[in-house]
């Protein structure tokens, strides 16, 4: 058991939350959090995923930074970790113990990213049109004649 102050961590969910927060403080990767969880619980993480909350969804790269994962899918926890000192992590663990907060399935993309994607599509269309116009610039006057070398 892990004891910090009065809090006693005993369930797999609490171990995962503690691993998540500890790895976030150390600026590790998602894989670091998974390894920490496995070393504490002596279980296979993949088998425990269906019963755990706040875990990366299938297909999420485990080598990605934990702060990126938490900021993208657990924004409330990310804000709390940035705002509070490390000494208050025990309070966050207590709060998460009774919380049903889980990863945001519909993580909305940034509005700036959406603007850039739209602008990129428009620019690609303009380039396709310009290339087509360039290729056809003399098609009406060359009578499809191939000239030999001089």
Residue-wise pLDDT for 72-117, tens only, equals 889 899 999 999 999 999 999 999 998 888 886 555 556 777 777 7
In the DSSP assignment, the letter for residue 60 is -
Give 13 or 125, the one with higher predicted confidence: 13
Please give the pLDDT value at position 85.
92
Rounded to a whole number of angstroms, the distance between the first and last alpha carbons of the chain is 88
Task: Output the pLDDT for position 34.
Answer: 93
| Diameter of the chain measured on Cα atoms | 92
Give CA–CA dist 148/85, Å, rounded: 78
Say which residue, 53 or 4, is predicted with more confidence. Answer: 53
Alpha-carbon torsion angle 81, 86, 91, 92, nearest 10: 20
| 115 or 20, higher pLDDT | 20
Query: What is the rounded CA–CA span in Å between residue 87 and residue 84?
Result: 8
Phi, psi of 145, rounded to the nearest 5 degrees = -95, 130
pLDDT at 124: 82
CA distance 110 to 98: 30
pLDDT confidence band for 3 (50 / 70 / 90): very low
CA–CA distance, 31 with 45 (Å, rounded to integer) = 10
DSSP string across 11-50: SHHHHHHHHHHHHHHTT-BHHHHHHHHHHHH-S-HHHHGG
Whether residue 128 has pLDDT greater than 70: yes
Q: How many CB atoms lie within 10 A of CB 60?
A: 13
Cα–Cα distance for residue pair 20/110, rounded to 1 Å: 24
Has residue 13 got a pLDDT over 50? yes
Residues 28-71: tens digit of each pLDDT: 999 999 999 999 999 888 888 888 899 988 788 889 899 999 98
State the average pLDDT over residues 135-143: 67
Residue 2 has pLDDT above 70, yes or no: no
């Amino acid at each position: 058991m892990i004891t910090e102050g009065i809090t006693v961590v005993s369930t797999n969910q609490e171990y995962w939350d503690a691993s998540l927060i500890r790895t976030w403080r150390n600026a590790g990767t998602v894989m670091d959090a998974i390894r920490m969880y496995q070393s504490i619980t002596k279980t296979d993480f993949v088998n425990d995923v269906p019963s755990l909350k706040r875990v990366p969804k299938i297909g999420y790269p485990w080598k990605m930074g934990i702060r990126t994962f938490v900021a993208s899918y657990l924004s409330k926890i990310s804000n709390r970790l940035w705002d509070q000192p490390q000494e208050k992590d025990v309070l966050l663990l207590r709060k998460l113990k009774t919380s049903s907060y889980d990863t945001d399935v519909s993580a909305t993309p940034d509005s700036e990213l959406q603007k850039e994607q739209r602008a990129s599509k428009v620019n690609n269309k303009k380039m396709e049109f310009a290339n087509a116009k360039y290729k056809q610039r003399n098609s009406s006057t060359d009578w499809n004649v191939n000239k030999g070398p001089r």
